[in-house]
Structure 1
Amino acid sequence: MTRGRPRTPIGTFGDVLLVDLGGRYRASARYRDLDGRLRRVTAVDTSQRRARARLQERLVDRAGYGSGGVLSAASPFGDLCELWLSDLELRDISEGTKQYYRDDLRLHVRPAFDAYMLGEITTGRVEWFLRRRAALSYSRAKHTRTLLNQMFAFALRHDAIARNPVEGRSQLSRPKREIQAMTLEQVQAIRVAAANWRAGAAVSGPKPDGKVRDICEVLLGTSMRPGEVLALRPCDVVETRQGMVIHVRGTVVRRQGMADFRQDQPKTDASNRSIAVPEFAAQVLRRRIGSMGPADQQTTIFHNRNGGVITLHNLRRTFREFLRDANLADSGITPRWYRRTGATVLARGLGIETAAAFLGHTSTAVTEGHYVAPELDVDMSPAGVLERTLRPIDPDDTLLAGSPGDDEVEALDAMDGTDGAGG
């Protein structure tokens, strides 16, 4: 059996032929199109170099360029990284999520697989890598698994591999841990510390304006993410016959090399929601909004002296001082714990599904710009449970007492995982 000339892969071209036309030059090559047929592509210019460059431009712009040779089982893993990152830029997800993927790929995934060709990355190698990641952090390993699954699915769609090596690996084992919710005693201790922070006569400098203290009350009463509370505006707050309702329509975010700013959409589509506010948090918001003018409807309720957003860094820094004054500096508590505390109260008082909807982890949440009659469509029962359990005066600690069951730990931990590191 005679061996013929190897067939040109689809999306690639053969040798470039240069012809002197007398003062001008023609460059040409045979290109194998998506239908499998070879066609000659030509370009003419005043020099050989310019003619070759123009031909290259035409080949790159041709439909299907690279589909048969640039990404294949023999391609380096780095080639997949570059193509996937380009595709990532086109996806309709938040910039923060994109940066999280970029960092994970650059710092962990690419160094582990950069020496392999795509066809050499097996399920066993993925398993070994993810086991090492899980030994350091379950949540990081889970995120890395999602990243690898997306990347190899991308390679599969481009016919570079026959199967996704992430499929078929063993499940990550979730470590058992206590739910990070505050006790009622810790909540009250932080309240006292916040009220008395820098309030003594011996304290020099300007007195605090109480913004971070009030932010903590709203965090406690709404279970919102810290960035969502910092992004609240008067136009997002509605008073109804049954009580106050908040429309969550944005969040404050931080980007590398940029100052914190208000983003016009929250973390996910499900985070666009309307929630009822317990009275102790509603009183804080009414007082803050009452000090603002009619022209401030688009200004954040919690803003700095210049009218800009309060940064997440400044919130956390002041909160750490509250913890120090409350003798809780070594407790590990962060502003995020308010969200988990509210989730725990609602899960025990009304069930996991109600807690998930309130926290913005459901696809049935109210979408941005969708106005409905709040007193008819917003579930007011969570506000009642939060008010009874977490109000400053005579709170009922029944729902925060005792140890969580296994089902509760798993469900709340899963909800918390969807918030990411910055939730």
Structure 2
Amino acid sequence: MPRPPLLIGTWGKIRRATVDGQPMAFANYRDSTGRTRPMQRNGRTEAEAERNLVAALKAKLDDESTDLLASSSTVAELAEKWLDELRLQKTPQGTIVTYRSSIKANIVPGIGALRLSEASVPRVDRFLKGLLDRPSAARTARVVLAGMFKLAVRHGAASRNPVPDTMPIASTKRPVKAKTLEHIHGMRERFAEYDRAHTSELWEASGMLMATGCRIGENLALRWDLDVHLDTAVVEINGTLITGEDGKLHWQEHPKSEAGERALRLPATMLGLLTERRVNAFYEQVFPSSTGTWRWPANTRRQWRAALEGTIYAGATPKDFRRAVATHLDRQVGVKAAAKQLGHGNEDVTIAYYIERQHEIADFAEVIDSLFQFAG
């Protein structure tokens, strides 16, 4: 009857010997691939050779085991492993930053010390319910935990993913409200007034938002020579600005989604403004900071709020321009055009989040009136 194999991560009987006058110790060990391999070490004495061998075996097998989670690993340790895997998958940095923020702000303080064997459905469910006063935070935490425990199951550290059996967190979606053209032009007049006293360039930046319907990060990531082609009146959306894990601003070589990479024809009005702006440009960025670096989207939003503070436009955001473009295109040429302009892979997202629904009257009164014309 064949001898049963060693357990993975263990070694067999240690043998001592003196070979050519050199004290040696030998043993077979089974690594994480399932293969049984030999190892030997020497020493001044056979006892020292055995100690050296044991130390080497432990170091070797400990190195291999550090890549795997165990049921005794904590949720916080799982989180770090999961983030490492997202980086290997080349997940966009913006997404990683969002998930890491959820882990740091909510998951680690809430259940980070739990062992994976202790992370039952009731415990995870209770944790998520404790975040319901902040529905957005609760939804993000649920998405993050679901991804984390998929990894735990793959590592054999958990027998099941507890998150799908927790209570779903409903999304309270509000109807889309698009700003009127009067409202959009009123904001731009306010921006022009604000620009005269500040180095903000909100009037021109908002004009580009209106011309393209792009996101603020995409807008501020535009480069003269690589993205803006004045000779053909085309602007290419090739990247966006994100805050990296290091807290610094980075140009990301792709927009939010694959469909977000797009080429847009510039309206004649914006083409004229850009041509004039290009003549006076000193930097590669279309909208550089005052020092010629990338302009932080957060700073632009702050200036935006300051410009509109105390007016009827207070509370409006750059996304309102994106909604206005989508709604205008939908009314004029249809939803497909709106989705293509905004860089959406399908029309569902455009309809759900960017186009204000038209309230049409069901005008069948004449037909229904015949119900009243009963002759008897």
User: With structure 1 as the length reference, what TM-score do the two structures score?
Assistant: 0.68
- For 1:147, what is the secondary structure of its paired residue? helix
- 1:215 CA drift (Å): 0.2
- 1:147 CA drift (Å): 1.3
C-alpha RMSD over aligned residues:
3.8
Answering whether residue 196 of structure 2 is matched by residue 211 of structure 1, we say no
2:324 is matched with 341
Answering whether residue 223 of structure 2 is matched by residue 225 of structure 1, we say no
Answering whether residue 58 of structure 2 is matched by residue 56 of structure 1, we say yes
2:229 is matched with 238
Cα distance in 2 between the residues matched to 1:248 and 1:193: 27
Cα distance 1:44–1:348, how it changes in 2: closer, same or farther (>3 A)? Answer: farther
**1:178 touches 1:409 (CA, 8 Å); kept in 2?**
no
1:177 is matched with 174
Cα distance in 2 between the residues matched to 1:97 and 1:285: 32
Cα distance in 1 between the residues matched to 2:144 and 2:280: 46
Cα distance in 2 between the residues matched to 1:217 and 1:234: 16
Answering whether residue 137 of structure 2 is matched by residue 140 of structure 1, we say yes
- For 2:160, what is the secondary structure of its paired residue? coil
Cα distance in 1 between the residues matched to 2:317 and 2:13: 63
- For 1:133, what is the secondary structure of its paired residue? coil
Cα distance in 2 between the residues matched to 1:358 and 1:120: 48
Answering whether residue 238 of structure 2 is matched by residue 249 of structure 1, we say yes
Cα distance 1:151–1:259, how it changes in 2: closer, same or farther (>3 A)? Answer: closer
Cα distance in 1 between the residues matched to 2:155 and 2:79: 13
**1:14 touches 1:31 (CA, 8 Å); kept in 2?**
yes
Look up the equivalent residue of 1:238 and give its one-letter code: H
1:367 is matched with none
Structure 1 residues without counterparts, runs of 5 or longer = 1-5, 200-206, 365-406, 415-423
Cα distance in 2 between the residues matched to 1:119 and 1:351: 53
Look up the equivalent residue of 1:227 and give its one-letter code: G
**2:210 touches 2:322 (CA, 8 Å); kept in 1?**
yes
Cα distance 1:78–1:44, how it changes in 2: closer, same or farther (>3 A)? Answer: farther
- 1:162 CA drift (Å): 2.6
Q: Deviations over 1:52-74 (max 9, x none)?
A: 54333433466xx468xx53334
How many pairs are equivalent?
346
Cα distance in 2 between the residues matched to 1:79 and 1:314: 35
1:77 is matched with 75
2:299 is matched with 314
- For 1:253, what is the secondary structure of its paired residue? strand
1:263 is matched with 252
Answering whether residue 353 of structure 2 is matched by residue 412 of structure 1, we say yes
1:281 pairs with 270, 276, 280, which one?
270
- For 1:308, what is the secondary structure of its paired residue? coil
Cα distance in 1 between the residues matched to 2:256 and 2:43: 52
- For 1:163, what is the secondary structure of its paired residue? coil
2:121 pairs with 120, 123, 126, which one?
123
Cα distance 1:51–1:291, how it changes in 2: closer, same or farther (>3 A)? Answer: same
1:193 is matched with 190
**2:330 touches 2:337 (CA, 8 Å); kept in 1?**
yes
- 1:16 CA drift (Å): 9.4
Cα distance in 1 between the residues matched to 2:142 and 2:133: 14
Compare 182-191 and 99-108 and name the one that shifted more.
182-191
Cα distance 1:196–1:66, how it changes in 2: closer, same or farther (>3 A)? Answer: closer
- For 2:88, what is the secondary structure of its paired residue? coil
- 1:175 CA drift (Å): 1.0
Cα distance in 1 between the residues matched to 2:331 and 2:11: 68
Cα distance in 2 between the residues matched to 1:133 and 1:351: 40
- For 2:130, what is the secondary structure of its paired residue? helix
Answering whether residue 151 of structure 2 is matched by residue 166 of structure 1, we say no
- 1:29 CA drift (Å): 6.0
Cα distance 1:28–1:215, how it changes in 2: closer, same or farther (>3 A)? Answer: farther
- 1:20 CA drift (Å): 9.4
Cα distance in 2 between the residues matched to 1:21 and 1:120: 50
Look up the equivalent residue of 1:291 and give its one-letter code: N
**1:77 touches 1:114 (CA, 8 Å); kept in 2?**
yes
Cα distance 1:53–1:213, how it changes in 2: closer, same or farther (>3 A)? Answer: farther
User: With structure 2 as the length reference, what TM-score do the two structures score?
Assistant: 0.75
- 1:214 CA drift (Å): 0.0
Q: Deviations over 1:275-325 (max 9, x none)?
A: 2333333332222123348xx6xx111123443222224322322232036
Cα distance in 2 between the residues matched to 1:124 and 1:357: 44
- 1:170 CA drift (Å): 4.2
Cα distance in 2 between the residues matched to 1:198 and 1:99: 32
